[in-house]
């Protein structure tokens, strides 16, 4: 047995199998492996969950259209929590949304521009329901944005985006979001959330918006309790999601703060931890 095999975390088991009706999982660092791929066993699992009447829900900071593209073959069998909980969609129909005021969007765009004039290598993405919008167009920035936004519109001036409902403003930095972006936008914290959603990304949203609230909206719409809910995450934008479910799992690769918030730990994203844990907890055997 290799050292890696010896330290490989096994999925938890429970003496009594829980009655689960809703399962939500983050994407990056959780469902996706280190090569940004979804495991082949996810697809039969999602179909089996649907057959059993269990709702599977990708819950991500990614754009709805990006999630829809990744889950195209099973789109009718899942519900999407997109844009860090600001937009919940089932079979193309909105379940809930939490949008920014346009004057706030304008102030955020101006703040990001100021950061750039001070030497920070940053760019803003205005995330609307119909599209995401950018004004920065250089190839390195586009390569990063294109990973997460499948429907993207280039505009001359982000402040002119007034004909869409804006869910959040995302800021990408080639440096550290925690050190370069979040402190610079601290002035917005009195009225809005500034969430570090990845090493290079920060999201600015209403104070009422997060993945946990997205799950609660979905629970209310479907008549599902937190005792019937299982969630998986790895990073700080998954914190509130841990509070929305009795069966909350931090991935083995998760941020220490998230591990402290979750009730259980699942194998890492590189070990297909989500699929293996769901299969273990629900008694499914094909994986």
- Distance between CA atoms of residues 230 and 248, nearest Å: 6
CA distance 278 to 53: 14
What are the start-end ranges of the E strands in 113-178? 122-128, 132-134, 152-154, 166-173
4-8, 69-73, 195-199: least confident range:
4-8
286 pLDDT above the threshold of 60: no
How does pLDDT run across 219-261, given as a tens digit for each residue?
999 999 999 999 999 999 999 999 999 999 999 999 999 999 9
- C-beta separation of 134 from 128 below 8 A: no
φ and ψ of 20, to 5 deg = -95, 135
Residue 156 is a catalytic residue: no
Share of the chain above pLDDT 90, in %: 94
Q: Tell me the pLDDT band of 117, cut-offs 50, 70 and 90.
A: very high
Q: What does the alpha-carbon distance between residue 59 and residue 242 come to, in Å, rounded to a whole number?
A: 12
Q: Look-up: residue for tokens 């995450």?
A: 233
What average pLDDT does this structure show over 117-124? 96
Q: What is the pLDDT of residue 13?
A: 87
- Is 38:208 a contact under the CB 8 Å cutoff? no
| % of the chain exceeding 70 in pLDDT | 97
* Maximum separation of any 2 CA atoms in the chain, in Å: 60
- Partnered with residue 203 across adjacent β-strands are 170, 195
Angle at 267 between CA 264 and CA 269, to 5 degrees: 120
**Is 101 within 8 Å of 171 (Cβ atoms)?**
no
For residue 282, give the nearest of 32, 30, 46, 76 by alpha carbon.
Answer: 46
| Paired tokens of 187 | 């002035």
Task: Give yes or no for residue 211 having a pLDDT over 50.
Answer: yes
Give the tens place of pLDDT for each residue, 121-132.
999 999 999 999
Tens-place pLDDT, residues 160-187: 999 999 999 999 999 999 999 999 999 9
Asked if pLDDT for residue 5 goes beyond 50, the answer is no
Whole-angstrom Cα distance, residue 96 to residue 91?
A: 13
State the chain's mean pLDDT as an integer: 95
Residue 44: phi, psi to the nearest 5?
A: -65, -30
| Element containing residue 89 per DSSP (H, E) | strand 87-90
Residue of 26, 203, 238, 252 with catalytic role: 26
**More reliable by pLDDT, 198 or 138:** 138
Per-residue pLDDT for 3 more than 70? no
Mean pLDDT value across residues 140-146: 97
Q: Indicate whether 4 pLDDT > 80.
A: no
pLDDT digits (tens, 9 = 90+) for 56-99: 999 999 999 999 999 999 999 999 999 999 999 999 999 999 99
10 Å CB burial of residue 167 (0-12, 13-18, 19+) is: buried
* pLDDT given at position 94: 97
pLDDT band at 7 (very low <50, low <70, confident <90, very high): low
Cα–Cα distance measured from residue 240 to residue 103, given in angstroms and rounded to the nearest whole number: 27
pLDDT at position 181 is: 95
In this predicted structure, what is the pLDDT of residue 8? 80
Residue 269: both structure tokens together: 């994203």
pLDDT of residue 203: 94
Go through the domains of the chain in sequence order and give each one's CATH number.
Answer: 3-98+210-282 (3.40.50.1000), 102-206 (3.30.1240.10)
pLDDT-based confidence at 52, cuts 50/70/90?
A: very high
């Amino acid at each position: 047995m290799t050292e890696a095999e010896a330290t490989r975390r096994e999925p938890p088991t429970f003496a009594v199998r829980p009655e689960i009706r809703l399962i939500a999982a983050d994407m990056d660092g959780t469902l996706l492996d280190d090569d940004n791929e979804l495991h082949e066993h996810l697809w039969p699992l999602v179909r089996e969950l649907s057959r059993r009447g269990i709702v599977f829900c990708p819950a991500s900071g990614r754009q709805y259209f990006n999630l829809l593209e990744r889950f195209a073959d099973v789109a009718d069998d899942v519900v999407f929590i997109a844009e860090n909980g600001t937009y919940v969609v089932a079979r193309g129909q909105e379940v809930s949304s939490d949008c920014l005021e346009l004057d706030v969007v304008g102030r955020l765009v101006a703040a990001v521009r100021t950061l750039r004039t001070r030497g920070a290598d940053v760019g803003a993405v205005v995330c609307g329901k119909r599209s995401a919008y950018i004004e920065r167009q250089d190839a390195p920035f586009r390569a990063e944005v294109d990973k997460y936004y499948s429907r993207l519109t280039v505009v001359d001036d982000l402040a002119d985006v007034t004909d869409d409902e804006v869910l959040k403003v995302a800021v990408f930095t080639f440096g550290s979001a925690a050190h370069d972006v979040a402190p610079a936008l601290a002035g917005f914290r009195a009225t809005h959330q500034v969430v570090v959603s990845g090493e290079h990304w920060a999201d600015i949203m209403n104070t009422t918006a997060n993945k946990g609230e997205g799950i609660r909206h979905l629970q209310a719409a479907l008549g599902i309790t937190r005792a019937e809910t299982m969630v998986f995450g790895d990073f700080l934008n998954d914190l509130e999601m841990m509070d929305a479910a009795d069966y909350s799992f931090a991935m083995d690769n998760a941020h220490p703060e998230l591990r402290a918030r979750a009730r259980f730990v699942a194998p890492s994203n590189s070990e297909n931890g989500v699929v293996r844990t769901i299969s273990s907890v629900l008694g499914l055997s094909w994986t």
